[in-house]
A and B are shown apart, each in its own frame.
Chain A
Amino acid sequence: MRTQIDRARTSAGVPGPQPGAWAIANLRAVRGRAFVRVVALTRDLPLLPFETVLPVMAVAAYVYLYRYLGAPPGLATMVLLGGVMITYWQNVLWAMASQLYWERMNGNLELYMLLPTSRVSILLGMALGGMFATTVRAMATLGAGLILFRVPFILPEPLPFLALALSSLVALYGLGMMLSSLFLMWGREAWHLASLFQEPIDLLSGVFFPVRALGPVVAGAASLIPLTLALDGMRQILVPGGQAMGFLPLRTTIAILAAMAIVFPAVARVALNRVEHLAKREGRITARWQ
């Protein structure tokens, strides 16, 4: 599309775009789409307790369940980390995977298709804005949990933790970018699919218990979900004695997550191109109720 515009400009004698204009336009698109998510943190104040305080209560329910069952304190830290990571998963499901479908219902998707930038920039902006907003909420949950439950928490090796956190976030949001195109193609079922990906994923990812409790076959299959590996790795680093509850060695976990961080965004790009094709050639996808 860019080439056609450039040709038209040249034949009309209009000066061509400045070098790097394409990259700058895309960076602006990323910033613009991320910006609304960042400012939304303070614009939707009635939801603030539901984003920060009440998720702690869900975690607390499982912490007290473990106490009721007479579990050691390290397991409470494990549950707290599960509660923090589930915040990211919910954001990936509801604000990434379902977002293009939601944008179609609101009429924004057609505008996205007309933009003189890559559609990946829009998704990248969504992901970066979502990551920032969710990190603020997740840190509130973690801080409140650490203060309220006084659970043991350590960070002996910051570098592996940073590598794990970064690869986990990119893999998770890459999966969200990929699912957003697929959910759009699946139509009305998207909303229900997002609902379906909650409790079963909580179970398979071992959000509230070490995933190795599911056995090697189920835990191995569940490792295709980045949340499973992210949780397993974080517990090994941050929970005292956490290596005993790990499913895979930490280095392997980070390596698989890094691979996912490359594969998922690449597949997302292919899926987005397919959506764009359907939208432009067949007039499908962008209109409501399709």
Chain B
Amino acid sequence: MAMNIARLHPGLRRWLTSFWAAWKVLSNWTDPLLFGFYLILRPMATMLILVVIVHAVGGGDRERLMFLYVGNAFFLLLMAGALAAEVIPNDRDWHNTIKAIYLAPGSYMLHVLGWASAQLTTGAFSAAVLLTGGLLVLDLPLAIQPGRLILVLALTTMAAFALSLLLASLALFAGQGSELIRGGTIGAIYLLSGLLFPPFILPSPLKELAQVNPMTHLATLFRASLGLPVAVPDLVGLSLSVTALLAAAICVFRHAFRGVIRAGIIDRRHNY
């Protein structure tokens, strides 16, 4: 039975329609087979870079390879949040629809979260393919622990939403160059989230920054949920810190959005 979307709450309707539109924009530029290949090729290339490094420099250490491999699969979920910030240049510069979307019923923030949800869907698909490849091709001893996996996926979704709102806030004020925001943020996440190496390798104060970063603990919990021998972080503390991060991101986005509306620059376009 078809769902009558008009009967839904305006907020839910906004989120659903944005999710659907984002999925269409992300996926319908080519045929499904090529799109699936595209989703796999990029993360696979990153993974191969790490595998080559571990084999060329680290002598093929399996334990370190596992650490890197699972950390990098987790990174795909976080990156979905960073990628979702592209909704701003998409609406403002590409489709010239930002004013219309702003005027439509429901919050613009839910529109950003709809985009983030679509990006998370593709990110989760890529991560699942990579982990399956690790299990079948590289023979990595992964053992899923369902309870922990559900918890970490829920918390990671919240963290990715927070990341998308924070970066979208910045994109509202920045001109052309959303790829720079994404690229720069990816670097910071790589360095400070314990994805490639344990945080104790870093010098102070980067080590301390990595230790207070909830994404570091989410990465650890993700590794634990796949059966890696790591110390499970404090789940209550982690849930609280991720919730606080999301709450802070919502406040920042609302403030930034009000700022661009008041300054009259919501549809300001750059081109150089």
Q: Which residues of A contact B (CB under 8 A)?
A: 36-37, 40, 43-44, 46-47, 49-51, 53-62, 64-71, 75, 90, 94, 102-103, 105-106, 108, 188-189, 191-192, 195-196, 198-200, 202-203, 207-210, 213-214
Contacts and interface: CB of A to CB of B under 8 A. Distances in A.
Nearest to B200: A68
Q: In this complex, which of A44, A50, A54, A55 has the most chain B Cβ atoms within 10 angstroms of its Cβ?
A: A50
A196 B187 contact: no
Interface residues of B, number: 50
B29 A203 contact: no
Interface of B: 29-30, 38, 41-43, 45-46, 48-49, 52-58, 61, 64, 68, 93-94, 170, 173-177, 179-181, 183-188, 190-192, 195-198, 201-202, 269-272
A68 B201 contact: yes
Contacts of B53: 62, 65-66, 69, 208-209
Given A40-B272, A65-B197, A70-B58, A213 B52 contact: yes
| Chain A contact surface mostly | helix
Given A54-B183, A57-B184, 15 more contacts: A44-B176, A49-B184, A51-B177, A51-B184, A58-B190, A60-B191, A61-B187, A64-B196, A64-B202, A65-B197, A67-B201, A90-B179, A105-B94, A200-B45, A207-B49
A131 B46 CA distance: 27
Contact of A108 (B61, B93, B270, B271): B271
A50 B41 contact: no
A65 B46 contact: no
6 contacts: A43-B175, A46-B173, A57-B184, A108-B271, A209-B52, A209-B57
A196 B41 contact: yes
A64 B180 CA distance: 22
Given A54-B185, A58-B186, A192 B197 contact: no
A64 B201 contact: yes
Given A69-B57, A108-B271, A58 B183 contact: yes
A189 B190 contact: no
Contacts of A196: 38, 41-42
Given A106-B271, A192-B29, A213 B56 contact: yes
A28 B58 CA distance: 54
Given A57-B188, A75-B57, A192-B30, A199 B45 contact: yes
A55 B43 CA distance: 19
A68 B45 CA distance: 21
Q: Which 7 A-B pairs have the closest CB atoms?
A: A58-B187, A54-B184, A50-B184, A61-B190, A69-B58, A68-B197, A199-B45
